[in-house]
């Protein structure tokens, strides 16, 4: 009996270790500041060292909160003629869940090939009847890493990506899930603040490729051809690339991309993150940037958060940042779920990635990098509009926080590597 218990405990311990490991050697050293972000060498590094290629001719339209985001996504789905691909972490229910199910089902009945990939953990609260109705209508709905014996070593690897691609020519990415919290316009604590982005142009093919990578891993089938990858004409003048990472290949890619951008900064870094828990390397990079004169501003959730443990783990790390002059802000009206990195008025990186170990090491993530001063200025205006609804955290105020908060932060910090 004792031997059996020991074997079970050893197996559980092994599973825990496997699930908490990124599977690859982590970035362990700070990236050096060798050239500014506006230098051509930075673009070469982002396009060649990191990949994929930066492609010109795109148009990226920001959508602010559910009242702008969901109508645009539903309009695109309802206008689909050949294909719809949809990958998301959270798909629950409510009126918005029904609206998406109905739109996807209607297109499938009309002969459009509709492929939906839901994360099994993130969408565990999905209304099963909605899934049944979509499948009956011809929608191909699959779950990413469901609870199966052959997935036990990958249960902590979730797809956190938010991707919708219609007819291979219109894409959407950002932070929203399909749930009632994202409806409205962030008017109260029950309705969250978030952003999403409508994309046209050649970079949509990269978005499609990212989605189809997880589709083929899940189903074993490769989707290709004219209906999925049509020839794409320029739709605007914004250079962009769709950047992705996954523990099954390139788990450190998102962190390296972020560290390269921070290392190249000379003027400004603005970070919007629903979950801000920088690891040792990221913390050092932000401190170094601030010390060489870069203005660094960070917005994270305040008391309205769906992850108290993350907030406490984050706050426990703020000392070195505040001492270096980093400006830290907590959003007050409601849950702040945005994910954005703005650097030197040129690079805007938007998508699903939070500034935390889970996004950098454990999840499948996808970010759209836009290299355009006008777009970066527009997103800076959005950032500063959010900033006006924040409370700034000072070094003096942080040092005066109650002992009970410090204690909670200490306990939460233990979990920081997997938050």
Q: How do residues 140-176 score in pLDDT, each as one tens digit? A: 999 997 866 555 555 567 899 999 999 999 999 999 9
User: What percent of the chain stands above pLDDT 70?
Assistant: 89
Give the pLDDT of residue 48: 84
Q: How do residues 10-50 score in pLDDT, each as one tens digit? A: 433 333 433 444 455 466 678 889 999 999 999 999 998 87
Q: How do residues 374-383 score in pLDDT, each as one tens digit? A: 999 999 999 9
Give the pLDDT of residue 10: 41
Whether pLDDT at 6 is above 80? no
What does DSSP assign to residue 192?
-
- Residue 223 tokens read as 């989707």
- Residue 308 tokens read as 């108290």
Q: For strand 113-119 and strand 347-351, is the pairing parallel, antiparallel, or unpaired?
A: unpaired
Give the pLDDT of residue 140: 98
Give the pLDDT of residue 16: 41
What is the pLDDT averaged over residues 362-376?
96
Beta-bridged to residue 301, according to DSSP, are 331
Q: Catalytic residue positions?
A: 160, 162, 167, 337, 339, 344
Give the pLDDT of residue 285: 96
Tally: H helices and E strands in the chain = 14, 15
Q: How do residues 300-318 score in pLDDT, each as one tens digit? A: 999 999 999 999 999 999 9
What is the pLDDT averaged over residues 354-364?
92
Give the pLDDT of residue 345: 98
* Band of residue 242 on the pLDDT scale cut at 50, 70, 90: very high
> What is the rounded average pLDDT for all residues in the chain?
90
CA distance 368 to 264: 18
What is the pLDDT averaged over residues 385-392?
98
Give the pLDDT of residue 15: 38
Cβ within 8 Å of residue 214, ≥6 positions away: 87, 117, 144, 159, 161, 246, 364
* Band of residue 343 on the pLDDT scale cut at 50, 70, 90: very high
CA distance 367 to 193: 18
- Residue 399 tokens read as 């040092």
What does DSSP assign to residue 157?
-
CA distance 253 to 288: 21
Give the pLDDT of residue 145: 75
Give the pLDDT of residue 5: 41
Dihedral angle computed from the Cα positions of residues 89, 94, 95 and 98, in that order, rounded to the nearest 10 degrees: 60
Cβ within 8 Å of residue 163, ≥6 positions away: 85, 86, 87, 88, 171, 172, 173, 207, 210, 211, 366
Nearest to 33 by CA among 341, 264, 307, 335: 264
Which residue is listed with tokens 């004169």?
Answer: 293
Nearest to 126 by CA among 160, 89, 165, 84: 89
Give the pLDDT of residue 312: 93
Q: How do residues 205-222 score in pLDDT, each as one tens digit? A: 999 999 999 999 999 999
Give the pLDDT of residue 251: 63
Indicate the pTM of the whole model. Answer: 0.92
Q: Does domain 23-418 have CATH number 3.30.2010.10?
A: no
3-state secondary structure of 326: coil
Within a 13 Å sphere around the CA of 19, how many CA atoms are in the beta-carbon half? 18
Cβ within 8 Å of residue 9, ≥6 positions away: none
CA distance 164 to 172: 5
Choice among 108-117, 168-177, 282-291, 406-415 with the minimum mean pLDDT: 406-415
3-state secondary structure of 166: strand
N- to C-terminal Cα separation, the chain: 36
The domain spans of the chain are 23-418
What is the pLDDT averaged over residues 283-288?
97
């Amino acid at each position: 009996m004792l031997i059996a218990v020991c074997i079970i405990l050893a197996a559980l311990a092994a599973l825990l270790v496997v699930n908490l490991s990124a599977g690859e050697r982590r970035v362990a050293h700070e990236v050096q500041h060798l050239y500014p972000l506006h230098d051509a060498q930075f673009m070469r590094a982002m396009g060649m060292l990191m990949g994929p290629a930066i492609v010109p001719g795109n148009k990226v339209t920001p959508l602010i909160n559910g009242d702008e985001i969901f109508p645009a996504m539903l309009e695109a789905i309802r206008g689909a003629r050949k294909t719809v691909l949809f990958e998301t972490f959270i798909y629950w229910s409510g009126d918005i869940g029904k609206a998406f199910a109905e739109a996807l089902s209607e297109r499938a009945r009309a002969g459009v090939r509709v492929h939906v990939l839901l994360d099994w953990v993130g969408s565990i609260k999905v209304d099963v009847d909605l899934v049944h109705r979509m499948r009956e209508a011809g929608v191909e709905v699959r779950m990413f890493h469901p609870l199966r014996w052959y997935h036990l070593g990958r249960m902590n690897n979730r797809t956190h990506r938010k991707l919708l691609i219609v007819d291979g020519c219109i894409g959407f990415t950002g932070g929203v899930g399909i749930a009632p919290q994202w409806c409205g316009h962030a008017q109260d604590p029950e309705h969250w603040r978030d952003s999403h982005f409508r994309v046209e142009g050649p970079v949509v093919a990269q978005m499609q490729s990212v989605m189809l990578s997880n589709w083929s891993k899940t189903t074993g089938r490769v989707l290709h051809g004219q209906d999925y990858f049509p020839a794409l004409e320029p739709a605007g003048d914004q250079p962009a690339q769709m950047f992705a990472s996954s523990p099954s290949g390139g788990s450190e890619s998102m962190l390296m991309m972020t560290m390269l951008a921070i290392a190249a900064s000379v003027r400004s870094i603005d970070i919007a993150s629903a979950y801000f828990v920088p690891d040792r390397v990221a913390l050092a990079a932000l401190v170094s940037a601030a010390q060489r004169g870069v203005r660094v501003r960070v917005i994270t959730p305040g008391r309205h958060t769906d992850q108290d443990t993350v907030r406490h783990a984050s706050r426990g790390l703020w000392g070195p940042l505040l001492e270096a002059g980093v400006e830290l802000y907590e959003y007050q009206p409601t849950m702040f779920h945005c994910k954005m990195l703005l650097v030197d008025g040129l690079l805007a990186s938007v998508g699903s990635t939070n500034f935390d170990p889970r996004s950098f090491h454990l999840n499948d993530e996808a970010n759209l990098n836009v290299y355009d001063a006008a777009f970066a200025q527009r997103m800076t205006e959005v950032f500063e509009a959010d900033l006006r609804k924040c409370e700034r955290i000072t070094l003096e105020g942080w040092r005066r926080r109650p002992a009970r908060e410090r204690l909670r932060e200490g306990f939460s910090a233990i979990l920081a590597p997997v938050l």
